[in-house]
Amino acid sequence: MFLMIWRCAMSDIIRSDTDREFVRLERSGWVATITLSRPPVNALNRQMVSELSSALTELAADDDASVAIITSDLDHFSAGADLRERAETAKEEVADAVAAISAMVTQIANLPQPTIASIYGAAVGGGAEIALACDLRIMAENGKLGLKETSLGIIPGAGGTQRLARLIGPSRAKSLIYSAELMEAPLCLATGAVNMVVPNNMLRDSAIAWAEAFAKNAPLALRAAKQAINGGLGKSMEEGLQAERDAYAALIDTADRDEGIKAFLEKRDPQWRGE
């Protein structure tokens, strides 16, 4: 049923939309938000991928953003690649188009800030891969997530086979990818594909509250924690511990570390500077 809706929605996309902006990057305090907004379903055409890549580059360089949310202001998170555009792309150019999406998704995974995907409606194909590249995922009760590529004669090409398998285990990932089925919110939560499911009307506020709970802590420490965790994945315990020691050592001579200890001793809230 969703695939039918997806195809109908895709047919409604206006082709001459190069004058629009499909991605917004905003920051409030320590929390940055990237909002996807290409009606009707945030299909990832070349322009949107380029805009999202540019926003990610800007976010990565923003020392005043300590947590980032990726969300949508439409009825769905993202339906993935724009199949109308893909059908009109010469076959010799398809690999480059897929590589561009994959590189953009890798930018998300490599952001120094902790990231949260806020998923309303469906996150499908490349949209699911965007969500999987985030550190954490919060989903509305109407949410769905899946990789439908095998139903189109292809496979996930922006990290989906690797990130989903690492997140929920290879057996479950194989079942979902082979069947091209979408997981609804309860199954996403049960398998660990998402961290939290909330009522539809509470998604935005819940995502912001979650991000702000992180942002109360030292921004450099948040980045270092992410670096240490990611630096040890897939490595031996000793290599992981070395990644932790390296990340810790980089914090010793920071103003925020001094402020954190001073604030604790003075029984007050710390005033972080990100330095």
Residue 129 is among the residues annotated as catalytic for this protein: yes
Residue indicated by tokens 């199949």: 83
Is residue 129 a contact partner of residue 105, using CB atoms and an 8 Å limit? yes
Q: Tell me the C-alpha distance between 247 and 244, whole Å.
A: 5
The alpha carbon of 136 is separated from its chain's Cα centroid by a whole number of angstroms, namely 8
Is residue 146 a contact partner of residue 129, using CB atoms and an 8 Å limit? no
Element (H, E) at 214: helix 203-215
- Name the catalytic one among 140, 143, 149, 228: 149
Question: For the purposes of burial, counting CB atoms within 10 Å of the CB of 183, is it exposed (0-12), middle (13-18) or buried (19 or more)?
Answer: buried
- Name the catalytic one among 126, 143, 146, 160: 126
Q: Tell me the C-alpha distance between 45 and 97, whole Å.
A: 9
- Name the catalytic one among 65, 117, 125, 129: 129
- Name the catalytic one among 43, 65, 81, 243: 81
Is residue 92 a contact partner of residue 114, using CB atoms and an 8 Å limit? no
Residue 126 is among the residues annotated as catalytic for this protein: yes
Q: Tell me the C-alpha distance between 208 and 67, whole Å.
A: 10
155: Cβ contacts below 8 Å, ≥ 6 apart: 149, 161, 177
For CA atoms 49, 51, 53, 56, the dihedral sign is negative
Q: Tell me the C-alpha distance between 221 and 231, whole Å.
A: 15
Q: Any idea which residues carry the catalytic annotation?
A: 81, 126, 129, 149
